[in-house]
Amino acid sequence: MEKAKQLLELTPEESDAVEKLDGRRNIAGDSCFYTFFSFRGILVNRVEPGLIVCTLKVPPRLTDRSGKLASGAIANLVDEIGSAVIYDEPPPTLVSVDISIAYLSTADVDDELEITSRLLGQKERYNGASVIIKNKTTGEIVAEGRHSFFRIRSKM
């Protein structure tokens, strides 16, 4: 266990580098490093009630060992862009009920992707969204996801 701890410890130089990272506020007011890391580079092209269309040029930081867009990055896009289509003021607290993703093809570094999220429906506090990630150049669908949510009512 000690050896594992030592391997995970940051050197003073690494610690300084982490502290210098820019964690500016990003989507939906989140300011955590994870959100900044995963959403940097997304351009929102169109927003309508029940629809969001974005583009993303695949950055190296979101690729796997083979240089393709990582499946975890795709799942994150389906999760976050899918939930973003459910807009309300104040922003609702959403709990994911189910996420289903079909990985249909791959995307390389610098491929430009179009991400379309549509609200499929809403019944009381239950919502469903569809997310399609498509390669803009080839027209090939990279992934198609469905995400369902449950809105939690605030106790305040």
The per-residue pLDDT for range 40-90, each reduced to its tens digit, is 889 999 998 899 999 999 999 999 999 999 999 999 999 989 988 876 666
H or E segment to which residue 128 belongs: strand 126-135
Indicate the pLDDT class of residue 23, thresholds 50, 70 and 90. Answer: very low
Same domain, 108 and 124: yes
- Rounded average pLDDT over 12-17: 66
Judged by average pLDDT, the poorest of 7-11, 72-76, 151-155 is 7-11
| Count of structural domains, the chain | 2
Q: What is the pTM of this model?
A: 0.74
Boundaries of domain holding 67? 41-152
CATH code (residue 48): 3.10.129.10
pLDDT: is 143 or 92 the higher one? 143
Same domain, 27 and 78: no
Same domain, 93 and 129: yes
Using left for φ > 0, alpha for ψ between -120 and 50, and beta otherwise, residue 138 falls in alpha
Same domain, 87 and 143: yes
